[in-house]
A and B are shown apart, each in its own frame.
Chain A
Amino acid sequence: MEDNQIEEGEKHRDVEVAPALISVHPSQNSVAVAVGSDLRVHDLLGDGVVSLLDNSGAPSHKDSIRAIRYGANGKLFVSAGDDKVVKIWSAESWQCICTVSSEKRVSAVAISNDGQHVCFADKFGVVWVVDLHGIDGSQASVNKKAAPLLAHYCSIITSLEFSPDGQYVVSADRDFKIRVTIFPKKPLDGAHEIQSFCLGHTEFVSCLVFVITLDYPQGFLVSGSGDSTVRLWDITSGSLLDTCEVDAKAGHLESNGSDEGYSTVTGLCVVPDSTLIAAAIQRQVVSIKGENFIPTSLANSSSTGLLWMVTGVSNLPGFDFPSVSRVKVISGFNKSSPDCLEHEPLVLEDSDIPGGMKLLEKLQGSVKVEEKVFSAAAEAVKTAMCNLLIKKQYSSDKREYRKRTRNDKKIKQ
């Protein structure tokens, strides 16, 4: 019976573009960008050159990468996506230390704070856990099996986060839900004890991040959503503490003047040592020096005041470029009180970006990206975000057809 919506959604995805992703090492030792199946890493400590050591010989990923991240202690890096493979890397040697296969496409990843467990979510809403005990990266890549940890019933999980104290794993989905689960002592037996649900969003939840303040080291959860709000939560009780309507906030920024309703929040980033949060909004076309810039992903390290952004997509239709990306860095997010920044945030010139042109060449694929490619990318990013995040709505004709062709029309009684 081919009546499963998610399966169908997978089969008939019309646009296969994937938004570019960025992640920064917690001490800004390196920066990683993923565009399509391409994983690019630039080392900021040494001479910049990083070659990924993956003894499989073949490219590390065969299809679009959907999630990348560094572990909190900076030792590990994880990449995963549509090729149903999760790769766990040493963020020092860039040796792939562990490969895990998933039954389904992977939509989100997280690394426990002690670096001993990697979690990943698949397109069916199941979160899996991999135990890394005994893997120190000294031997060549090992294959590991993942165990199911928890599940959101048939909803795509969009984001996974460990709480700062490591006590909880938080998962967000397309059905407006955020689930806070106690991360158990024996994760391979599953995480059964739900601490809370954070309910209040009225559209898909797209991103999660924790803010830690001096008075509240266990941290507050911040979530972004398709309902164009950013919300602040207490995860122990699941209570909603505050809601920020981003349209209103973004109003004073230069916008492209469109009035197409909602501004999907697609990325969140917490500025270290402060209570400042950066939010990426889908509609907001930030015009930076004449370039249309819609960030597809945000990142920063816990040690610097730099906010890294990337925009780009894979497989841009109509262009020869296999995958386009553009990296920008904003400075001036150093220690500051909530409302007044020490300096105005400043978009760095390409040459002022740490790593300079060498980094851009590596992460973007080339230093210069043609303007027209760029505006096309901006459009495609929008489409990709929509397709990725917004629920498939069948036309009423199609729905009727689907109803008629069901094979379970038995009449009760």
Chain B
Amino acid sequence: MSEKIRNGSEIARWLLLAAVTVSLIASSAATAQTPASSTPAASQSANAAPAGNAENGKKLYVLYFCWSCHGSQGRAGGTAPAITPSTRSADDLIKYVRKPRGAMPPYTSKSISDRELADIAAFLRAVPKDPDPKSIPLLNQ
């Protein structure tokens, strides 16, 4: 991996992922989830999509700037459509982002791995629903 680390930002990213991995491995017995991906996209080949780890996916969602168009919870950010609430499988998500339609730029395997996308898909599926607008007085003024 070391030859892939080119600067501080990449080191920071690697450290973040490593930290996530350590904490997830520690808790994996309890949560019985798939271990997190431990390496950035550039350093691994495309793997078959595993079930995904939502907690890691949440961090990757931030790291890969998905939030920048879709909002912090994927609920639509004004520049892109909502991607939550989601029932989308990892395979589905991977297929879409590799060659998206419309304004979305492609997240090819050079930019993000299948495993990382599987984690993001798991995170998107875990995002809770919004409340009913009728229950909010501020939206019924």
Do the two chains belong together in a single complex? no
Give residues in B with beta carbon < 8 Å to A.
none
